[in-house]
Structure 1
Amino acid sequence: MISTTEIDPAGIAGDALAAADPQLADLVAREEQLQSRTLRLIPSENYVSAAVLRASGTVLQNKYSEGYPGRRYYEGQQVIDQIERLARSRAERLFGVDHANVQPYSGSPANLAVYLAFAEPGDAVLGMSLPMGGHLTHGWKVSATGRWFTGVQYDVRRDTGRIDLDQVRDLAREHRPRILICGGTAIPRTIDFAGFAAIAQEVGAVLVADIGHIAGLVVGGAHPSPVGHAPVITTTTHKTLRGPRGAMILTDNDHAKAVDRAVFPGLQGGPHNHTTAAIAVALHEAAQPPFADYARAVVANAQALAAELITRGYQLVSGGTDNHLILIDLTTKGVPGKIAAQGLDRAGLVTNYNTVPYDPRPPFDPSGLRIGTPALTSRGIGVDQMPIIAGWLDRGIAAAGRGNEEELATIRAEVFELLGAYPAPGVGESSVGSAS
């Protein structure tokens, strides 16, 4: 357990918060300590810079700015308009697109805005099946996108674990979707944007590339870009892009007006200006030369970690990874994903249990683990440490299966010792104490 005596809420959460609400300040301090002292292996998590954190907590919280720059419904927007224009222009330059909308509150509303812009209720939309690695908002049945539209789902091949474009084409020809979506939340391989674009063109669908997971890899040159293939691109701004929890929709000129109308007034009121400012900072950081090095290191780490796991007898969906994400099928290890993830958490290795393609187990107790390397790479951890991390995962999964808490505690101490050499960006050093 983490001792409260090791936590300095005033130094971590800020004097004002500690004075106004010590209880909440203490909780923030505890979370900061956890982020500092554990190895975060969830592929959708990362560390933002101190500058992004600072931008997120400014007086921009005080503004309400319904509308778009130059077309607001409130006065006093002289500075806010400049901030939003700055974020938009940085996104447009970085990704090489005609237009960027930086107002969506998160990835799911961004995707919903795309449906509102280019489809009518009941229209067919073709996306990747959730159990195969897609996202809820790609037309899955429990999502609003699957209830309001006719969701058609494509899979991955049983033998390769990879997307079968022949199946995608056959489904597209049969259902004639208004929207075809590529991308997802558990895809360890390079997305063939050109192949999807050819199918979308054949059936007259709008191709939407959801690159929420790989946006940082795209701008860092470590993954092909959908620009020029998909006229509409949605992305979150955290994950590999290392920004705040927000989203963007990137388009060509032909699709820009429909997207803007769908975001506002179609779905949202005023944008979160503090988030817009933090997005602008993250985009500026991603445009600097060191970010390309970071993106390449994320992939190198993931591939090295995948190789180490394979040598230890682990089955990986698709046999490895091309990006930041590894999907482990634990079936042959005899340890369910949920038990493994919970045990690893106690060992200081933060992962998430996840379904694997054609998983015989239920979603809340699946066969897989989803891990990734964005956060550890942000700490400066490199390929030389991947054998160590693979060893911890192997020992931790086995210990979780046996209920060996002593071994999990031993691993946690080893994790903490390694992390002492790799400070977490944006996280106060005062949060690091003894490994109790």
Structure 2
Amino acid sequence: MSEFNLVKTLRDRGLISHITNEDNLSKLIRNNSISLYCGFDPTDESLHIGHLLPLITLKRFQMAGHRPIILIGGATSLIGDPSFKEKERIFNTNNNIDIWSKKISKQISCFLDFNLGKNSALLLNNNMWFNKMNILSFLRDVGKYFSINTMINRAAVKQRIMRPDQGISFTEFSYNLLQAYDFFILNKQYQVDLQIGGSDQWGNISSGMHLIHRKSKKEVYGLTMPLLLQSNGIKFGKTESGTIWLDAKKTSPYKFYQFWMNIEDINVYYFLRLFTFIKISEINRREQKKHIENQIIYDKSFLAKNITRLVHGKEQLLAVERITEFLFLKNIDHIQEVDFQQLKQDGIPFIEVDNIKDLQEALVLTSLAQSRTQAKNMIISNSVSINTKKIRKNHIFNSQDKLFGKFTLLSRGKKNHSLLCW
């Protein structure tokens, strides 16, 4: 019997929103190597930071000797989970879902170990069983175990039913049963005892446990984690605005890093507990020192580096550090051409240029100044830089201003930048 209590560790780190029969689950995973799963519907080409907690939690279970199973919802993504969505999702094509399934599978493979013996991660797609099932079989073998009264009263459904302008279609209403059947099949064929997910999945997870209990007379478990919310209280999702993607082509590693650097101070140590594998004792030690000058900034950087390395790898973290050094510490020595592609993607505003008369015109074109007169005054007041070097008079651009023959960084003060792409 292991002395390590994984459930207690998850709770201490703030990673549990709901859990069923905590004592029994704790004993089960302390005495046995179990299989657990989490589902991901490929409704876009990339996962986002809202998916990080389930992925990291799966990794924690694997590190503790358990077998994580990833279920790609090739079938369920054709329907779309209505949980706490204000309106019906737009249906996606089979072709898109196939492409997105492959991309998301590749992303997930970076988080888990698929070559670890008996607790190697396993990746499945629920097309494997739903493509073989017809509607009559589903209604007889699954639907008969569920009460419409109970399903209507689930918070995720009730929210939509109470909105006469939206309502909920039978298609979306059936999603709950589809996910329940996923859990049933995984328990039957792969001995999965635990499903995890975000707290918005509690209704779906509960339905899966109910179906297994009714059909197989087995006890299985559910565990959910808190949702990652934006500052406006809306959860991070693929259909919400302000999404921070895990795909470097959709959100550059630099912008990803800056997201964590710009979180509210109150969340720094909470996020260190949620998203990193740093010992709680070390996080507590840091939190006790948070009132020391610049300690919060240092710990934000510590958080940002840890998560960026986890998601994007060591090389991309080094690129982020070069860009940060260039923009904020005015050190141009280590910047590389590829780093400017990140800045151009989503790091700072940029404009494509061919010929610019002078610095004053450039400041106006980049909206760093509203007029040539304002630009002139900014230059005189020593607040304008070209490639981190202060400029004290109007300037005519030359080849030396074009880093790698392509890029010029204009700055107004410390935080306002724009990139000229020649």
User: Same-fold call, TM > 0.5?
Assistant: no
Q: Relative CO higher for 1 or 2, CA cutoff 8 Å, sep ≥ 6?
A: 1
Q: TM-score, with normalisation over the residues of structure 1?
A: 0.28
TM-score (norm 2): 0.29
